[in-house]
Amino acid sequence: MALLSARSRSHAPVVAATASFLAVAATAWLCVATWRVAWLVAVGLLWVAPGVIAMARAFREYRSRWAMAFLLGGPFGFALSSVGLLPFWLLGVRSGFLLVAVPLAASVLAWLTPSLGRGLDVPRYGRRDLLALALLILLVPLVVARPYSQVGKDLPEGRAYRAYFTADFVWAMAVVSEVSKGDGGLPANPFHVDMRLHYYWLAHLLPSLEYRTLQREVRLDHLLLADAVMSGVMFLGFLYALGKQFARGAAATLIGCVVTVLFTSPEGLYALFDLWRQDRPLSLVRYLNIDAVSRWMFGALPIDGLQRVLLYQPQHQIGYALACTALLVMVQQVRRPRVGAAALAGALLGCGLLVSTFSALMVGIMVGGISSIAIVHARAWRIGIVQAVAAAVPIAAAVWLSRALEYVAAGGQLIDITPNPLATRHPISGPLISIGPVLLVLALGAWLWARRGCAYQRVLVPGIALVVCTLFYFFVDVRDHQDVYVGWRAGHLFFITSGGMVGWTWWRLTHAAARRWHSVGLASLAVAALVTLPTVAIDLYNTQDLTNRQMAAGFPWTLVLGHDEVNALRWIATQTPTDARVQVEALARDPGTWAYIPAFAERRMSGGLPISMIPLRPYEEISRRVRRLYEAPDAEAAFRQAEALRIDVLVVGGEENKRHPNFRALLDQSPQMFPPLYRTRNITLYATSGRMRAWMHEHH
């Protein structure tokens, strides 16, 4: 029996890894549902290979080099391949051959990565880590499988998209549809006729080239979901490596990661209690943004849990992983500062800045703090100066590239250094309702650390992260994002950097000499789970609930595009020039279908209201010009305004008919100026430019 037990334990990691692989593959299949999912996985693996090779070479002096490479190399490889593709894309070279050629060339260069040398504080990995990692990666299908299967689902009444896939996800569709056009040069702005795309779009190069290569054989939303599944696996692999650095044990690392992904906020429990107190049905939580109760009930700055990063934000997953890997490298060399580590950290931070700019800015401050502590502790002043230069070179190159790519509009100010009005309104109750349980565990861990006299490196990262995240939470604001953007980024980075300490705290309690601490450790874990589980359970249920057709704050909980709309949008995407400007009444469609044309019809608008553009004022101004077009007193005035806005196709659909009930009849009275291109009972598309009228005569 003992022999059988030993054999079963030895096979457990392989069985768990196999189950995890099959579950992830099945989740990706749910997104695409064709054999092309294998093609997407193969391309994804090739795309991240340069980073795996670079990390293996950097850590080649260590037995754990391949573990470090596979856990940390994926996001780095993604960024390196994307940067390698960039010059070809800007020159208008868009061949699918680049999906193979670019990562292969980058892999050859990655082989030249110098070793970081001996003496780094690199943890060892074993079979237990494989088991723990496999169990952690099962969170990807657990969190995203059901919600992803409901995205863009065809129902009898139309195609459904559940909030909040009508925000970050639809924005990604709009950006990829634009970048995939590959006109040469910088991408045009699908929301403003006179602007370039002022957004950090580098991370969208890979799906853009995939989409072009597949030639619409896979729907854009399905392709992005499949890519997001693979991104989630990379993110959790990185999260395990970061937690392992501090928790050390496999079980402790697993518990720390699971807690910081799933068990972080008591907002769901509070919402249930509040409904019970008011004697209202508990089922009303279906109509709450449950992970933002801190905002809607307390008026505080909200913090989202990491389950939402897995669901909606693959770009930020990669950005967090890149920037925090730089943090990890600097922690590993803290006892003996070295120039190579700073150069690698600088390259990682530079890549992170190109993928997710604001997150890299926050982590860059943390990296600078850790580097300074290491230099002062070792009194290595000369090395510190060289380190600063080595890290500054790749970061400066990334800053220059981001400016050359016009990530931010000329004269646009990204952040304001000022007290955040939402954060300062409820400075204690707001954070406690969002992250209270994790804060309490960290406080207990800090007490145990001080009591045991452990190495200061164990609390270095969570300590610095807590200080930086707190300062950003209260005193930094990103413009035109309703004062909430910094709360999301600061909260995510706080959770990401806390996993190792949470795991170590649990390990220390359960391995204390006094048995009473064992009970305290297990009880604290159970209480944390019970208090916070309602939040993630409600959130995951709401995310896939297409039966909820109620209105939220100005937008529907479930957006259903009717069959007429789906057919009209498909017609636009396949039967109009790729550079056509197709216009809806943007103010009427905000915020429910703000990305109606760029995301679903894959065409540009002359004016719209995007959710992620800074500054927002130019988009508001041009959207008001569009509204005046729809309010024109006669067809001739409407025609002059359409010409001034360089609109090719004018859309009159449900929202336009509701807000401007006489507009369609006005256009129909002047077919010589507004010949109809496409008409159904609910939607009419009118040609408004000379080239579209010529196109109409040519094709009909």
pLDDT tens-digit series, residues 82-108: 999 999 999 999 899 999 999 999 999
The CA-based angle 23-124-132, given to 5 degrees, is 25
| Average confidence (pLDDT) over 424-440 | 91
> If we measure between CA atoms, which residue out of 590, 604, 597, 607 comes closest to residue 659?
590
Q: How many CB atoms lie within 10 A of CB 387?
A: 26
User: Residues with Cβ < 8 Å from 672, sequence gap 6 or more?
Assistant: none
Crossing angle for the helix pair 220-247 and 36-58, nearest 10 degrees? 30
If pLDDT is split at 50, 70 and 90, which confidence band does 327 have?
Answer: very high
3-class secondary structure per residue, 377-395: HHCCHHHHHHHHHHHHHHH
What percent of the chain has a predicted confidence (pLDDT) above 70? 96
Most confident of 306-320, 415-429, 525-539: 306-320
CATH class of 562-699: alpha beta
CB 307 within 8 A of CB 539: yes
| C-alpha 8, offset from chain centre | 39
Cα 627 to Cα 295, 546, 613, 620, 639: the distances in Å are: 32, 32, 20, 10, 13
Cβ(664)–Cβ(652) under 8 Å? yes
**pLDDT given for residue 640 in this prediction:** 96
Model confidence over 386-408: pLDDT tens digits?
999 999 999 999 999 999 999 98
Q: Is the pLDDT of residue 160 over 90?
A: yes
Examine the pLDDT at 359 and tell me if it is beyond 70: yes
Provide the percentage of residues in the chain whose pLDDT is more than 90.
77
pLDDT of residue 696: 78
Instruction: State yes or no: pLDDT of 452 exceeds 50.
Output: yes
Task: Say what the pLDDT of residue 412 is.
Answer: 61
Domain ranges of the chain: 313-411, 562-699
Q: Lowest-confidence range among 255-264, 417-426, 665-674?
A: 417-426
User: Which letter does DSSP use for residue 557 in this model?
Assistant: S
For residue 162, report the phi and psi dihedrals to the nearest 5 degrees: -85, 135
Structure tokens at 594: 């703000």
d(CA 268, CA 274): 10
Phi, psi dihedrals of residue 188, rounded to the nearest 5°: -70, 165
pLDDT tens-place string over residues 8-64: 566 788 889 999 999 999 999 999 988 999 999 999 999 999 999 999 999 999 999
Summarised one tens digit per residue, pLDDT across range 109-133 is 999 999 999 999 999 999 999 999 9
Average pLDDT over residues 236-251: 94
Closest CA relative to residue 152, chosen from 141, 165, 161: 161
Residue type (1 letter), 49? A
Per-residue pLDDT band at 4 (split at 50, 70, 90):
very low
Token pair 């305290």 is found at 520
DSSP state letter for 113: P
CB 188 within 8 A of CB 608: no
Check residue 674 and report its DSSP letter: S
Structure confidence at residue 401 (pLDDT): 97
| Whether the predicted model's global pTM rises above the 0.85 cut | yes
Q: Which of 214-223, 314-323, 499-508 has the highest mean pLDDT?
A: 314-323
Cβ–Cβ under 8 Å, residues 561 and 600: yes
Given this model, what pLDDT does residue 515 score? 65
Q: How confident is the model at residue 525 (pLDDT cuts 50, 70, 90)?
A: confident
Structure tokens belonging to residue 667: 């256009």
How many distinct helices (H) and strands (E) make up the chain?
A: 29, 9
pLDDT digits (tens, 9 = 90+) for 271-303: 999 999 999 999 999 999 999 999 888 889 999
pLDDT by residue (tens digit) across 619-663? 999 999 999 999 999 999 999 999 999 999 999 999 999 999 999
Residue 411 has pLDDT above 70, yes or no: no
Cα dihedral 161, 165, 169, 174 in deg (nearest 10): 50
What pLDDT sits at residue 1?
A: 44
Average pLDDT rounded to a whole number, residues 173-180: 96
Which residues does residue 678 pair with via DSSP β-bridges, in sequence order? 685
pLDDT at 380: 86
Confidence of residue 516 (pLDDT cuts 50, 70, 90): low
What pLDDT digit, counting tens, does each position of 557-574 carry? Answer: 999 999 999 999 999 999
Closest residue by Cα to residue 585 from 638, 627, 639: 627
